[in-house]
């Protein structure tokens, strides 16, 4: 049934409304960060790509950013799993640095997974990432990831970054 135009709408200024008033935009709290993402973010103090450290005393103009290996509708689910996350250095406008995040986010998934496997083996889980992204378990194979890891080891992170 379509809602009638005569149905009274919940409105804070409508004294006859039986509905609770909607919160005003000003009162809305920002969405809370899932515990898994927060724990991961607080526990990693270096860029998992170039290895740059971010001590509290040496953050400069740059910061570490959390990259989710899943976007769109899968992003929310990805935030619950550190296996889907990478900590990467961000843009540094002062020094004109692009940062690893800008580059890695455009990589194909097999390359991103290889970076995870190489830099964060304890939290590497290819099948979980594929499940969160809602793609087939064969979308990226372990052999493809391993081939990328070998590439990374051969070229080193710097040159591999922009290939």
Give the footprint of Zn ion on this chain (CB under 5 A). Answer: 47, 49-50, 89, 100
DSSP state letter for 3: P
If the CB atoms of residues 20 and 96 are measured against Zn ion, the closer one turns out to be: 96
In Å, how far are 69, 81, 91, 102, 109 from 145, measured between CA atoms? 14, 19, 27, 21, 9
Q: Minimum CB separation from Zn ion for residue 101, in Å?
A: 8
- CB contact at 8 A, 44 and 91: no
If the CB atoms of residues 107 and 130 are measured against Zn ion, the closer one turns out to be: 107
**Of 146, 110, 147, which is closest to residue 129 (Cα–Cα)?**
110
Q: Minimum CB separation from Zn ion for residue 51, in Å?
A: 7
If the CB atoms of residues 14 and 63 are measured against Zn ion, the closer one turns out to be: 63
Q: Minimum CB separation from Zn ion for residue 123, in Å?
A: 18
Q: Minimum CB separation from Zn ion for residue 98, in Å?
A: 9
If the CB atoms of residues 100 and 149 are measured against Zn ion, the closer one turns out to be: 100
How far is Cα 151 from Cα 160, in angstroms, rounded to an integer? 8
Assign 41 to helix, strand or coil: helix
How far is Cα 74 from Cα 26, in angstroms, rounded to an integer? 28
């Amino acid at each position: 049934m379509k809602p009638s135009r005569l149905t009274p709408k919940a409105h804070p200024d409508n004294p006859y409304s039986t509905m609770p008033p909607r919160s005003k935009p000003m009162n809305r709290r920002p969405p809370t960060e899932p515990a898994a993402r927060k724990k991961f973010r607080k526990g990693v103090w270096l860029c998992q790509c170039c290895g740059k450290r971010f001590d509290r005393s040496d953050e400069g103009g740059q910061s570490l950013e959390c990259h989710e290996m899943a976007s769109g509708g899968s992003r929310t689910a990805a935030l619950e799993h550190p296996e889907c996350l990478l900590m990467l250095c961000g843009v540094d406008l002062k020094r004109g640095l692009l940062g690893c995040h800008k580059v890695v986010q455009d990589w194909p998934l097999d390359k991103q997974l290889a970076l995870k496997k190489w830099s964060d083996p304890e939290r590497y889980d290819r099948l979980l990432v594929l499940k969160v992204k809602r793609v087939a378990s064969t979308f990226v194979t372990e052999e493809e990831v391993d081939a990328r890891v070998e590439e990374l080891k051969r070229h080193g992170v710097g040159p591999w970054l922009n290939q």
